[in-house]
Amino acid sequence: MRKAVITGSTKGIGFALARELLRRGHSVVVTGRARTAVDEAVERLRPEAADGAAVHGHALDVTDAAQVEALWTAAVDALGGVDLWINNAGVAHTTRPITETTPDDVRTMVTTNMLGTVYGSQVAVRGMRAAGGGQVFNVLGGGSDGRIRPGMGVYSATKRGLDSFTSALVKEVAGTGVRVGRVSPGILITDGWLREAAAAPEQVAGQRRILNILCDHVDEVAPHLVARMLASTRNGDAIAWLTTARMTRKFLLPRKEDVLARYGL
């Protein structure tokens, strides 16, 4: 049984990863900023736990290093240790050019995406080294590959930076009992994605055909990502859903389902 912490896991892909781990008999601590959201997520996840697995919740702000340190302590107390830590907490504002992105949105993306992952990695690696080993996965996103996409300038910069940060951390943990990897989940329809879509309906309408080919539901992708993370034995492992091969298949054999229709789009 693995003992996992997933930041930003009260909804979206973080929630789906927690659910999949629990279904496979692994214990999880889910986290979010709001206590009410954390409690609700725990209640929804508890029936999913199999084979003696347990789910616990912890509310925190990942941009506060002291709170992230407290999360490690709370998770160790609740689970008896932590050997899998997934830095998933992130915020995306992707409908405005860089010059029109508000200072508050810039600050939120930079601090949550960058500081949250850096602090989470520091705490997890230190704790795992002391305990004898474990795995840390950083969830990346659009722009981490260096490609420029309209409206995603600030967000993409944070994810590109996290790719570089993860590469550096992989080298630093080499030869220890800790392994570090990256996860690229692809284009997933989450609450955040729907919020951005609502802010730019004309953009969604203009790209509907492409979006229906490339977008996926979190409940379809999470089992693949979890299986790959659990099977990973290599430091520096890179786990991706929307690989070149899968993208090619999507265009050659388009699905008949209207992916966006499920969400009223």
- CA torsion through residues 118, 121, 127, 130, sign: negative
Secondary structure (3-state) at 128: helix
Name the β-bridge partners of 56. 29
Smallest CA-to-CA distance from 236 within 196, 195, 176 is with 176
Secondary structure (3-state) at 9: coil
Specify the DSSP class assigned to residue 88.
-
> What single-letter amino acid sits at 21?
L
Which entry of 155, 182, 221, 232 is annotated as an active-site residue? Answer: 155
In this structure, the number of other CB atoms found within 10 A of the CB of residue 167 comes to 13
| 104/192 Cα distance (integer angstroms) | 17
* CA distance to 93, 116, 182, per residue, from 144 (Å): 15, 16, 11
Contact 233, 177 (CB under 8 A): no
Work out the angle at residue 233's Cα, subtended by the Cα atoms of residues 227 and 238, and round it to the nearest 5 degrees: 70
Let me know if 119 is a catalytic residue.
no
**Longest pairwise C-alpha distance within the chain:** 52
Contact 23, 47 (CB under 8 A): no
Could you give the residue numbers annotated as active site? Answer: 155
